[in-house]
A and B are shown apart, each in its own frame.
Chain A
Amino acid sequence: MMNNREVLIFSGATVADAVRAYSRRSAKLLENGKFRVFDQYGNQTEADGELTEGQKLFLKKREHEDA
C-alpha cells in the first residue's frame, strides 16, 4: 500500500519501484529528493529498500530544514 492505495508490484521490487507504480510524478519527486518514504511506524525507508507483501508505505514531502 502506498498512501493507503494498493500498489501491485513485481517480486523483487524496491521502494522506488513501488513509488513508480503509485505515481510517476511522485517517483520524480522522490528521485529529486523532494519526497521521502516512511513506513507505517513513521520510520524513513530508503528508496532502494526491498518490499514485503502487504507493506504499507507513505510518501511525505521533505521538511524544509532538510533541504
Chain B
Amino acid sequence: MRSLVWIAGLIVLLSFQGHSQGKTAGKPTEVIILHVNDMHAKIDNLPKLAYLADSLRKTHLYVFLVSAGDNFTGNPVVDMVADKGYPMIDLMNRCGFTVSAFGNHEFDLGQENLNKRFQQAKFPFICCNFDATGTVLKQPKPYLVLKAGNKIHIAVLGIIELNDKGIPDTHPSKVTGIRFYNGITKAKEYSWLKKKYGILIGLTHLGVETDVKLADSMPEFDEIIGGHSHTLIEKPMMENGVMIVQDGSNLNYIGKTTLRIEDGRVTARSDEVIPITALHKADSALVELCGKYNRNEEFSKVAGIAETSFKGYDALGSLMTDALTHQLKVDFAFQNRGGIRVFSLPQGPITIKDIYQLDPFGNLVVIFRMKAEEIKSLISYAYNLEKGIDLQVSGMIYSVTSDGQGHCLGVDLFDDSAKSLDPSREYTVAMNSYIAASYRFNHADPGTTGSVTTAEILINYLKEVKKVNYTGVKRAMQIVKP
C-alpha cells in the first residue's frame, strides 16, 4: 500500500512538471548557439562563419546558427541587384542559419521583395510585435522552438525595435499598413513559453539599452541575443539573471553561446566573442560564390571621374544635390547629412558601387512646389534637429543665424547670383523621400514622388557630366549671433 502511494505521488509530480521540461535522464546536454547581428549585407565574411559552423557541427550534436536581424542594407551587391537581398539569403541558406529576427532594415527591401526572400530562405524570420494582417507582407511567426534531440526544447522569441514614431527605423512607406506594438509589452504575453518549453531565448533587434529593460521585465529569458545598437559585448552582461549578448556589426565578430542543459533547464551558460580576424579557414564553395556576387560587372563600371578627392558633407552633398537639380530640372535640391553614407571619395574613377555606398537607401526623389518661407521652415527644422547645418543644397546658397546653442533664429536664402529669393514665387524643390517623409516643415504642395532613386539619378548625372570637381564648395553657412 505504501509503495502504491509513493508511485501515485511520483505520477502527480511528473504531471506537474509537464511534458515540456525535457528530461535528459541526468546526463547534461551541451547546446551551441552561434549568433550574429547587423550583418548589413557584408557577405565577405560569411564563408568563415560557414566553416566555423560546419566545424562545430562535426564535433557537437546540437549547433544552431541565429541572426538578430538587419541582414540587409549596407552593400550594393546585395541591396541593389534585381532580386534585392537574394545574395544574402542564398549565402545564409548555405551557412545553415536556423532562424533570424526581424531587424528594421529587413523592411528596406519592401514588403513584396521580403515575401520573395522569405520563400527562398530555408530558415524562418520571427517577430512577436507586429501584425501584418491585411498587408502585402506575409505574417511571420512570433517564435520558433528549437529541438535538441527529442527532449530538449528551446523557445526563441523575436522582437523588433520601434522608433519615436512607433515604427521600425525604415522608410515609412515600407511598413504601410503594418501595426506595431511595444516589444517589451508584447514579449510579456509570451512568458508562457518558458513554462511550456523550459528554455527561453530572446532574439531581439532592440538595442542593448532596451535589452536591459526587457531583462528587467522578463527574468524568464535564459538569454537575450540582441542587435540594432551594434554593441560589442565582449563579456556577456548579466541583468536580472538574464545573459545579454551582442556582437558588434558587419560580421566582424561571431558570438558563441554554450548552454549546459539538465532536466530540460539551463544549468550553466557562457558566451564568447570570436573576432572574424581570428578565423583563418573559410568554406571554399562560399568563397567562390561570394566572389561571383562581388564580381557583378555592373558595379565596377565607371560613372564619372572625380578630378579632385571629395571629403566632407559640403562636397559630397553638393554633388548629390547638383545631380537632382540638373537631371530633374528643378530650382533647388536638398540632401540631409544622415543620408550621405561615406565621408570621402578618392580622386579618380567613381564607380557605380561607390555611388551605392554613398547613397545606399534606395530613396526615391520627391518634388515639391514651395515658396521661400516654406523652404526656410525646412532648413530651420533641419538645423534645430541637428543643432547645426544638416541640409546640403543645390541651386542656392543659404545662411542660418543661430543663437550659439543650436537654435535657428533665422534663415536667409540667395539664388546663384546672390539675390534674395522672391517671396511671392513658387520654386520647384527636390529632396529624397526620407527628408520628405520624416522632416516636419510647411508645404502647401503635398509633393510628387518620382519613380527613380536618388542614387540612380546621381549615376545618370555623372555619366552625363563625366567629370566633377567640388574642391572648396560650401553653400550652407551658419552665423552665430553674439
Select one of A31, A43, A46, A55 contacting B343, CB under 8 A: A31
Closest Cβ of chain B to A30, distance in Å, is: 11
Interface size on B, residues (CB 8 A): 38
Chain B residues within an 8 Å CB radius of A56:
209
A40 to B211, CA, bound (A): 13
**Knowing A53-B163, A55-B209 touch, does A10 contact B249 (C-beta < 8 A)?**
no
| Interface membership of chain A positions 9-28, coded 1 if the CB is closer than 8 angstroms to chain B and 0 otherwise | 11111110100110010000
Tell me, in angstroms, the Cα distance from A39 to B210 when the chains sit together: 12
Q: Chain A: how many interface residues by the 8 Å CB criterion?
A: 30
- The contact of A50 among B230, B343, B434, by CB within 8 Å, is B230
One of B16-24, B60-68, B232-240, B459-467 contacting the partner: B232-240
Does B232 lie within 8 Å of A55, measured CB to CB? no
Residue from A10, A21, A48 with most neighbouring chain B CB atoms (10 Å) = A10
Cβ B164 vs Cβ A40 within 8 A: no
- CB pair B230–A11 under 8 Å, yes or no, is no
Instruction: Say which one of B191-199, B257-265, B382-390, B417-425 lies at the interface with A.
Output: B382-390
Quote the shortest CB–CB distance from B137 to chain A (angstroms): 20
B343, A11: Cβ atoms closer than 8 Å: no
- Name A41's contact: one of B38, B210, B237, B438 (CB within 8 Å): B237
User: Contacts A12-B438, A17-B337, A55-B207 given; 20 further ones with Cβ under 8 A?
Assistant: A8-B385, A10-B390, A10-B438, A12-B338, A14-B338, A20-B337, A21-B386, A41-B237, A43-B208, A43-B231, A43-B246, A44-B231, A44-B248, A45-B231, A46-B231, A46-B250, A48-B249, A49-B228, A49-B229, A52-B228
* Chain B proximity of A67: nearest CB distance (Å): 17
Q: Are A45 and B232 in contact (CB under 8 A)?
A: yes
How would you classify the secondary structure of chain B's contact residues: helix, strand, loop or mixed? loop
A17 touching B207 in the complex, CB below 8 Å, given contacts A9-B386, A48-B249? no
| CB <8 Å contact, B233 and A43 | yes
Q: List 7 A-B contacts (CB under 8 A).
A: A8-B384, A13-B338, A39-B231, A46-B232, A49-B231, A50-B229, A53-B164
The main secondary structure of chain A at its interface with chain B is loop
CB distance from B250 to the nearest CB of A (A): 8
Residues of B within 8 A of A40 (CB): 209
Q: Inside 8 A of A52's CB, which chain B residues have their CB?
A: 161, 206-207, 209-210, 228-229
B104 touches A11 (CB 8 A): no
In the complex, chain B residues whose CB is within 8 Å of the CB of A14: 338
A57 to B38, CA, bound (A): 19
From A10, A45, A49, give the contact of B386 (CB < 8 A).
Answer: A10
**Shortest Cβ distance from A7 into chain B, in angstroms?**
8
In the docked arrangement, what's the CA distance between A11 and B438, Å? 8
* A-chain residues with CB within 8 Å of residue B164 when the two chains form the complex: 11, 53
Query: Is B415 an interface residue, CB under 8 A from the partner?
Result: no
The distance in angstroms between the C-alpha atoms of A55 and B390, with both chains bound, is: 21
